[in-house]
Structure 1
Amino acid sequence: MLTMQESVVYQKIIREGLEQGRRYEVKLIVRQLQRHLGKVSTEIQNQIVDLSFTQLEDLGEALLDLKTEADLRTWLSENCD
């Protein structure tokens, strides 16, 4: 007999919850960057969407040190392979 954690439905719910949380984190970081730096280009927003959870967390910590969109581009090129 399957445990709840092994259930396909349970796994789907967990994956959906994680993805929803990730989308929220991306949205929050983009909003914070726009408030801090001004308008952030669509190109950069797309790069942010592609970041892993760890990279999003790192960017969330680094964003207060960024002064310009060029600083953000540099951060992304140095921290995202």
Structure 2
Amino acid sequence: DPFHFANLNAVLRPEDFPPHFPEPRFRFRSQLSVALIGGDDRLSLEDVVARKHDMSMLLADRVKDDLVRAVRAASPAGDVAGA
């Protein structure tokens, strides 16, 4: 991801940079990283290592409920119904 979101407390404005600089994007991986280490928590080295290996998938977390609801509404059969 571009540098614009390196510090969420002071997001850099794209209009302050030349037009050839990349457009700001805050992708899922970066969003998860900020969620894992952001905040006021005091983290030990072990905490940081544990969070580094977090297996969460932000996109999956965001769409799971809607996806399950859509599948159930479709009245699936067979293996899909069993899942």
TM-score above 0.5, yes or no: no
Question: What TM-score, normalized to structure 1?
Answer: 0.29
Question: What TM-score, normalized to structure 2?
Answer: 0.28
Considering Cα pairs closer than 8 Å and 6+ residues apart, tell me whether 1 or 2 has the greater RCO. Answer: 1
Larger Rg: 2
